[in-house]
């Protein structure tokens, strides 16, 4: 059994649990999150040198990949060096430990000797755990904390946000806070993030900076290609980027999301940024996305999908006016479709493809008035 840097205990949902009891299977799990967390800890401090990770399925069918202990340690060490994580930091683990984001939080704690405070994932995990030095959150958790108790973000803490892009309104809300926020770029295949983007404070940026040792380039599609020293093969992504220098890139959107409307290629993510500004201003739903739908004349048309919000005639008029003032004609949604609920992956990301297929759950459908 590998026993170096084994902590004496971890704090789980407010109670101290002995690592010895976890390893000897004497610790009682109170829910599935605790069960998965204890199981990963047992595997980590065993003789196992390979681990099976499952992708989220947000861009295709979920798949399993096998990685080594050394690869996970190398990734954790890169994050430690980039963020200045150190022994004694209090790390809040509030992501699903069945998946790479939650598991890598545990590995970072073991490698860096941070104290583990694990809590079952909820919308606002800070509500009962306001004191920490380092946390990883997904966007819906950030927006939930901002909506109810933004003061619970500790002033000196570091918060990394991954899983999906934050909308412009949420990024704006982070600016007055002293907590240091970073957006992360990465995926299961890269063992969590390989690049960080500063979201607030002195060095706020719209660009991602890669971690030390990571090399990047763009392929013929202008999609990001990643060369990490701890990976045996290059990772060819479907993320369209602008390479600014050897260490910096700007994320533009997904290649598999591009809409070809009348010969013009439209990035849904760019349209979503504009929609997000207005939705925040008008207090519309937080869950929406842009996708292409078949069109006889254009090939594909731009469609705005919204979750669970019925638009009045006045709402429709206001939305139309605002979008027409801010978007070129070819990027203005030709149609708005309101679905009852969006389909999501097991990690909580919107599954665009499956959501679009659920037209039978349409609550409202209208064209934007000119």
pLDDT in tens, 160-186: 999 888 988 899 999 999 999 999 999
Prediction pTM value: 0.87
Looking at the domain covering 258-366, what would its CATH class be?
A: alpha beta
Give the fold, CATH level 3, of 9-212.
Rossmann fold (3.40.50)
Stretch 347-365: mean pLDDT: 88
pLDDT of 323 over the 60 cut: yes
- Phi and psi angles of residue 8, each rounded to the nearest 5 degrees, phi first: -75, -40
Domain ranges of the chain: 9-212, 258-366
Per CATH, 9-212 and 258-366 having the same topology is answered no
Q: Which two tokens stand for residue 94?
A: 């509030």
Whole-number average pLDDT of the chain: 92
CA distance 82 to 159: 13
How large is the C-alpha radius of gyration of the chain? 22
CA distance 240 to 361: 31
Sign of the four-CA dihedral 304, 305, 307, 313: positive
What is the per-residue pLDDT across 190-213, written as a single tens digit (0 to 9) for each? 999 999 999 999 999 999 999 999
Give the contacts of 140 (CB within 8 A, at least 6 positions apart).
123, 286, 348
CA distance 366 to 336: 5
Stretch 23-49: mean pLDDT: 96
Contact 167, 276 (CB under 8 A): yes
């Amino acid at each position: 059994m590998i026993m170096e840097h084994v902590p004496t205990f971890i704090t789980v949902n407010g109670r101290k649990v002995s690592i010895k009891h976890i390893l000897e299977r004497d610790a009682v799990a109170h829910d599935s999150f605790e069960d998965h967390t204890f199981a990963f800890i047992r595997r980590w401090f065993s003789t196992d040198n390979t681990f099976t990770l499952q992708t989220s399925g947000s861009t295709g069918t979920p798949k399993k990949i096998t990685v080594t202990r050394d690869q996970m340690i190398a990734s954790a060490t890169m994050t430690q060096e980039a963020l200045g994580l150190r022994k004694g930091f209090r790390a809040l683990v509030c992501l699903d430990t069945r998946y790479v984001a939650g598991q890598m939080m545990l590995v970072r704690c073991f490698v860096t000797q941070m104290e583990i405070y694990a809590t079952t994932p909820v919308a606002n995990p800070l509500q009962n755990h306001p004191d920490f030095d380092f946390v990883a959150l997904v966007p819906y958790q950030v927006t939930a904390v901002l909506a109810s108790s933004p003061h619970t973000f500790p002033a000196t803490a570091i918060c990394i946000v991954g899983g999906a892009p934050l909308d412009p309104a949420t990024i704006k809300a982070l600016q007055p806070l002293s907590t240091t926020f970073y957006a992360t770029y990465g995926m299961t295949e890269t063992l969590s993030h390989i690049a960080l983007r500063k979201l607030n404070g002195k060095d706020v940026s719209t660009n991602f900076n890669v971690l030390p040792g990571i090399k990047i380039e763009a392929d013929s599609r202008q999609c990001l290609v990643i060369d990490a020293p701890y990976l045996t093969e290059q990772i060819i992504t479907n993320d369209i980027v602008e390479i600014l220098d050897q260490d910096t890139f700007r994320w533009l959107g997904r290649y598999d999301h591009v809409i070809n409307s009348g010969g013009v290629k439209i990035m849904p993510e760019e349209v979503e940024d504009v929609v997000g500004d207005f939705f925040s201003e008008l207090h519309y739903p937080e869950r929406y996305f842009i996708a292409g739908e078949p069109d006889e004349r254009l090939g594909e048309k731009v469609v705005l999908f919204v979750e669970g919000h019925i638009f009045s005639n006045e709402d429709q008029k206001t939305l139309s006016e605002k979008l027409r003032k801010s978007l070129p004609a070819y990027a203005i949604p030709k149609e708005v479709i309101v679905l009852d609920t969006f389909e999501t992956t097991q990690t909580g990301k919107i599954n665009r493809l499956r959501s679009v297929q659920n037209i039978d759950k349409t609550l409202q459908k209208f064209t934007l008035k000119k």
